[in-house]
Amino acid sequence: MATVRVDADTLVVEIEGIDKLWALKSRLEIPLANVRGATADPGIAREPKGIRTAGTYFPNYITAGAFRVDGEKVFWDVRDANKAVVIELADERYARLVIEVDDPRATVALVEHSVRR
């Protein structure tokens, strides 16, 4: 699971607990200027993950780390697809962040509000 917050003009994603090990990351920092938006998307877990380049994939248990799909890098940290949020990025290492959060609606609202200001 991850937590998302905004510090000044930066979106900060903190990977929590054992997921740090599975995802091979503990924190991502993205300038808000490079964040396009966010959506809650429980169906994303059924989509192809692509090729794992770093991290962990156990079907029906966890998807964590970096994956390449259609020429783009996507960062995943999801166990419970019902809590999945997709954050779209531009001009970043990852094209999207697919993360599990405690409250998807609140996270989407935070990202969308921060991007619009």
pLDDT digits (tens, 9 = 90+) for 45-60: 888 899 999 999 998 8
Residue whose structure tokens are 């954050």: 87
pTM of the prediction? Answer: 0.95
| Residue 53 CB coordination number (10 Å) | 11
pLDDT digits (tens, 9 = 90+) for 66-116: 999 999 999 999 999 999 999 999 999 999 999 999 999 999 999 999 998
Instruction: Spell out the domain ranges in the chain.
Output: 2-116
Instruction: Quote the CA–CA distance of 88 and 46 in Å, as a whole number.
Output: 18
Looking at every residue in the chain, the average pLDDT score rounds to 95
What's the pLDDT score for residue 45? 86
The three-state (H, E, C) secondary structure of 33-72, written as one string: HHEEEEEECHHHHHCCCCEEEEEEEECCCEEEEEEEECCE
Residues 36 and 89 sit within 8 Å (Cβ to Cβ)? yes
| Residue 46 CB coordination number (10 Å) | 7
pLDDT at residue 117 tops 80: no
